[in-house]
Structure 1
Amino acid sequence: MKKYAYIGSLGFIGVITTEFGVIGILPQIATHYGITIDKAGWLLSAFALAIAVTGPFMTLITSSYNRKTMMTIALALFVITGVVSFLSPPFWLLMLVRILPAFLQPVYIASALSVAINGADKSRENELMSIVFAGVAIAMVTTVPFATWLASLHNWQYSFLVQLIVSIIAVLAIYFGLPSMPVAEPKSFGSQLRILRDPVFIISALVNLCMVSGWFSTYSYFVDYLNKAKQMDDTMVSYMMFLFGIIGVGAMWVAGKLLNKHIAGTTMFFLSGTLIVPLLLHLAGVNLMANILVIGLWGFLYSPSFLNASTYMISAAPGALEFANSLSTSFGNLGVTIGTTAGGWMIAHYGVGYTPWLTFAFGLLTFALMGLRKLLLQRKVQFALQ
């Protein structure tokens, strides 16, 4: 039901604010700790890598537990992270507490999606999932730019204060808004692991990985890119993050509707941004109005990327929804790690202005993988008819 989807979306806002809220304060953190921007980027990369490595395993071992309980515990860890991070601990401790909630983030997402579509008609599942994933875009338009703006007025610790407050609200909403949801018939590990032998699913996972890697090779350094390559000050950057996010909310709604009609076509449409946006950013130069228009388009085509990647991947594993969801989260976050690391390498060697060309290269690779999946599906159909 929609109420549960909206509660799941609220929790997702807390998750995304914690994971990606750091993007807007990486330059300040680098200055505070006396480290380079690419090293500060590991606050994002390490978080995502922990999800990628442990996500499927954690989802499997918690698959028989009450979904409300797991969602509450997962977000409680985000609260702990917010408290410690706000106290500006040594960098090693900041890194450690950043990683802590990552172990249960895929569990939260898989549980929230499962709760949202519980009992719903098959035809409405993608729409309800899009409501949950809308938390990503909403965070981008509200909490993430607000945290960046607040940090620009005071200091970077205030960004973590915003993350803490959002996480507390989300925990309360889940605790009081959701009924107890025990798992009636947990699926066996074997039935879920079977999807790992399907070449179509593996290719779908690689599509997810490359798509997210492409977007995050530039987006992870959004503030640094706009500061240096587009010559915008911190206040203008916070406005651009707001614009980016508010357009993304509408994009998420559009994507949810389109995915109900054609999953592959919708994915390709939004993926086209990995090719179009880098070219337009290059042509825009430092012209403010041109860059505002391109950033708006960037927000529209980027924002549904996790929803598109997840839906595209899950469509190859209809019999193992929660495990496929956790794998989608893991591959997506591995993409965040790869993209952020590749972007950091590009910045260290050539400068932040070249990061969009990484997005372009990953985009080309993703389109090639989608073509390969289509070919495999055609062969599977032909084999089945023989």
Structure 2
Amino acid sequence: MKKYAYIGCLGFIAVITTEFGVIGILPEIAEHYNLSIDKAGMLLSAFALVIALTGPFMTLLTSGFDRKKIMLTSLIAFLFTGIISSFSPPFWLLMLVRILPAFLQPVYIATALSVAISVGNKKQENELMSIVFSGVAIAMVSTVPFATWLASIFSWQYSFMIQSLVSIIALLIIYFFLPKMPVTEKKSYSSQLKILTQPIFIISTAMNFFMIAAWFSTYSYFAEYLNKAKGMDGTMVSYMLFIFGVIGVIANRVSGKMLNKNVANTTALFLSGTIIIPILLYFSGSNTIAIILVVALWGFLYSPSFLNASTYMISSAPDSLEFANSLATSFGNLGVTLGTTVGGWIIISKGVQYTPWLTMVFGTLAFLMILLRKYLERNSPIDVN
């Protein structure tokens, strides 16, 4: 039954719209508050840092609660953020309300994934997870570019209004269509924490961290990069986000089916974009057609990154799905923080045109982690399919 997976996907759209919706409007926010672009980027990096530092603990603490209540509570926090942010409060307050739902973001994701696979068979797990994670790509093709387009026509505050609307819709769907789902068997903390002592899991976590840092070194400043390095205005950037997302929806479904066959090879294939895309961006110059084609490929290779990272980590700890996924979310967001922070420093010190090369550096480190895991698995075999 895929119903629960699609419900989880809808909530994920709301979550991602709130987290990444600022990407398309960072230049406008920076201008409104008279900040540098790297300071405005803290709205993304601080959100991600809170997730990274608290995600696993919050997931462990809430692991015994009814899953429907957890999902509803999480989305209420995201709704609150969107409403307050739409009134353009002082920057310190905007930052504060942005941070609050970050405590529950990994809890929502881990719970939604658990709910999705609870009614499916083992062979469908990766495909059901891909449906939930497709919320990332759907947000990129719908709510994020639409909010960016509205901001370019009216003002950046409209972006947060869209975030609030999506959260309300997701709340209503979950409330009326998802049954109560109490946890019947709560795993002990010690049984879940033991995966932290497994070398293969640790290496998989490092791969996740470097891969997400690689993508977000440039993607966090998507609007800034296309504007300054490629000469595109706000409206054109919203179109690029739309193309990026359309391709991303397809990519998530393709990746989900490929992961059912081979996790490691699928992850490596999509990770190759961190090497390929910087080169293509450099050679595309200011040719609009070439840039569109590169952005499309970028969207295809980037969009399943969170799905691939989570599946890659879970494959090394199949008996601790929720906790492993919360760690995947946390370290992925730590990667967002690192990529956004270092990318912002590169922009200020060198120029936005250099951020893709940072993507390549982190991507190379992620590939090294995949090779290291393969080496370790020869001495300690584990089924990753």
Q: Same fold (TM over 0.5)?
A: yes
Distance 2:29 2:232 in 1: 19
Partner of 1:279: 279
Partner of 1:48: 48
Partner of 2:298: 298
RMSD of Structure 2 on Structure 1 (CA): 0.8
Distance 1:304 1:119 in 2: 23
SS in 1 for 2:21: helix
Give the unaligned 5+ runs of structure 1. none
> Which residue identity is paired with 1:133?
F
Distance 1:160 1:171 in 2: 17
Partner of 2:342: 342
Distance 1:316 1:172 in 2: 36
Partner of 2:267: 267
Shift of 1:273: 0.3
> Is 1:181 paired with 2:181?
yes
Partner of 1:83: 83
Shift of 1:365: 0.6
Tell me the alpha carbon deviations over residues 79-113 of structure 1, each in whole angstroms, 9 at most, x when there is no partner. Answer: 10011000110000000000000001111000000
> Which residue identity is paired with 1:46?
A
TM-score normalised over the length of structure 2: 0.99
Partner of 2:15: 15
Distance 2:351 2:381 in 1: 47
Distance 2:141 2:381 in 1: 43
Alignment length, in residue pairs? 382
Tell me the alpha carbon deviations over residues 252-293 of structure 1, each in whole angstroms, 9 at most, x when there is no partner. Answer: 010000000000000000000000000000001111111111
Q: Percent identity?
A: 69
Give the unaligned 5+ runs of structure 2. none
Distance 2:127 2:380 in 1: 28
Distance 2:342 2:147 in 1: 26
Distance 1:196 1:233 in 2: 46
> Is 1:136 paired with 2:136?
yes
Tell me the alpha carbon deviations over residues 217-270 of structure 1, each in whole angstroms, 9 at most, x when there is no partner. Answer: 000000000001011111111111000000000000100000000000000000
Distance 1:85 1:26 in 2: 14
Partner of 2:253: 253
> Which residue identity is paired with 2:345?
W
Shift of 1:15: 0.2
Distance 1:374 1:157 in 2: 47
Distance 2:253 2:320 in 1: 25
Distance 1:126 1:114 in 2: 12
> Which residue identity is paired with 1:50?
V
Shift of 1:131: 0.2
Distance 1:144 1:111 in 2: 23
Give the alignment of 1:152-231 within 5 angstroms: 152-231=152-231
> Is 1:319 paired with 2:300?
no
Distance 1:232 1:90 in 2: 29
SS in 2 for 1:286: coil
Distance 2:234 2:51 in 1: 30
Shift of 1:381: 3.5
Partner of 1:94: 94
Distance 2:355 2:381 in 1: 40
SS in 2 for 1:230: coil
Distance 2:237 2:312 in 1: 32
SS in 2 for 1:316: coil
SS in 1 for 2:261: coil
Tell me the alpha carbon deviations over residues 191-241 of structure 1, each in whole angstroms, 9 at most, x when there is no partner. Answer: 000000000000000000000000000000000000010111111111110
Partner of 1:238: 238
> Which residue identity is paired with 1:87?
F
Distance 2:176 2:51 in 1: 27
Distance 1:79 1:368 in 2: 40
Runs of 4+ in structure 1 off by over 2 angstroms are none
Partner of 2:124: 124
SS in 2 for 1:119: coil
